[in-house]
Amino acid sequence: MFQVASRPAHQPAYDMQYQHPHHPSALPNLQLPRNLQRPSYAEVSREAITSVEPGLAQVPFEYIRKGLHARGEELMASVSAAHVPQSLPKSRLPSAVDLPPAHAQPPTHILAVFSSPTAKHPGSDTAVLIPTHHIVLAANCVQLPRFPDARVRQRSNGMMSVPVIPLTVPAAEAFAPLHAFLVSHRLDRFIGALLPVPPAMLSAARAGSSSGPLAHLSAPQLATYLAGSAGGDKMSALMGLTRSVSAVWRNACALGVYDRDLWACLDFSWEVILGKEINPGPDVQTDEQLTAWLKKNMNTIYHTVGSCAMLPRAKGGVVDPQLKVYGTANVRVVDLSIVPLHITSHTQGTAYAIAEQAADIIKGVFAASLDRVVGDSIIFEDSIKY
């Protein structure tokens, strides 16, 4: 749960810290869970909503969230337009930040996000500053206590004084992508923040899709791209992605975020990183089951040749060196079926070469060039000379 910490003299009174025995602050380097565990479902409190927006006291929670989703781009634009320092040391953290008046709805607070201390990492004295809208957090974060009464004030010079609220989460560096998703509800941007893949590969991710928000994304395709684009030590790159996703996961658990689309994105990203077994599947475990699956599903792959082999007619040949079928006046076969023996390379190049030679034969230039190379006539049958 979150706990209100004692207030140092230089900090505002509102400071929350997450401590949960079931969600460790750091995953082991190699012992990774197959699936990301979700916290038990719980709804946000009505008090948390009415403390920031009293007019929503009678509005169902789902309607509130749908309304926020519809305004996601507008809200994201307003927090993005609030230019604040990216980070500040705790000793210089102000109680409020002055922002120029905005045409759109300005942020209601500036979050000063700290990482919770652990045995290996005692914590940082530097806060990551993130402008936010209190209703977005109140409507999505079950474990977040109600916001204080501090509100945006307009100064005599026209500047907006936005209160700064310290917030402690398991991984401050991973709070920004989670917050951006809660504000904008853009699935493609959220996965793009977790996995370094081109935006075009994620454009099919859409909330509210009848077939599922990520039904048209391919985890194997993204995994293949990541494996091919990783430079240097691929294992280090993989572990870096693993830590990033797990950090967002820990923050989501800490704040009590139960958004279905968010968890679909986290599960999908985790699947891409760890790789999901498609075949033979988790039900095939024993040697006997594996053998049975192989016999049922495995086939050889080959390119057939030789069904119309270029050989003497007495030896079963079908075409002569001019590619004409024996016994016909001008019927030719131009494909891999004329090759009498299989070749030890991909057959596409050989098929192209046969086609080029056939073109010369048909144009009547092959015979002259063949005479120059061979010098003597080629005899396949006593009655036919070439």
Full-model pTM: 0.64
SS (H, E, C) the chain: CEEECCCCCCCCCCCEEECCCCCCCCCCCCCCCCCCCCCCCCCCCHHHHHHHCHHHCCCCHHHHHHHHHHCHHHHHHHHHHCCCCCEEEHHHCCCEEEECCCCCCCCCEEEEEEECCCCCCCCCCEEEEEEECHHHHHHHECCCCCCCCCCCEECCCCCEEEEEEEEEECCHHHHHHHHHHHHHCCHHHHHHHHCCCCHHHHCCCCCCCCCCCCCCCCHHHHHHHHHHHCCCCHHHHHHHHHHHHHHHHHHHHHHCECCHHHHHHHHHHHHHHHCCCCCCCCCCCCHHHHHHHHHHHCCCCCCCCCCCCECCHHHCCCECCCCEECCCCCCECCCHHHCCCCCCCCHHHHHHHHHHHHHHHHHCCHHHHHHHHHCCCCEEECCEEC
* pLDDT tens for each residue of the chain, 386 residues long: 233 232 333 333 334 443 333 444 443 344 567 788 888 888 998 998 998 899 999 999 999 999 999 999 999 998 998 889 999 998 899 999 998 887 667 899 999 999 988 767 776 789 999 999 999 999 999 998 888 777 888 888 888 899 999 999 999 999 999 999 999 999 999 999 999 989 888 988 777 665 577 878 888 888 888 877 877 777 778 888 888 999 999 999 999 999 999 999 999 999 888 875 556 766 777 888 888 888 888 877 778 888 999 999 999 999 999 999 999 988 999 999 999 998 888 888 999 999 999 998 888 865 555 555 544 444 444 434 33
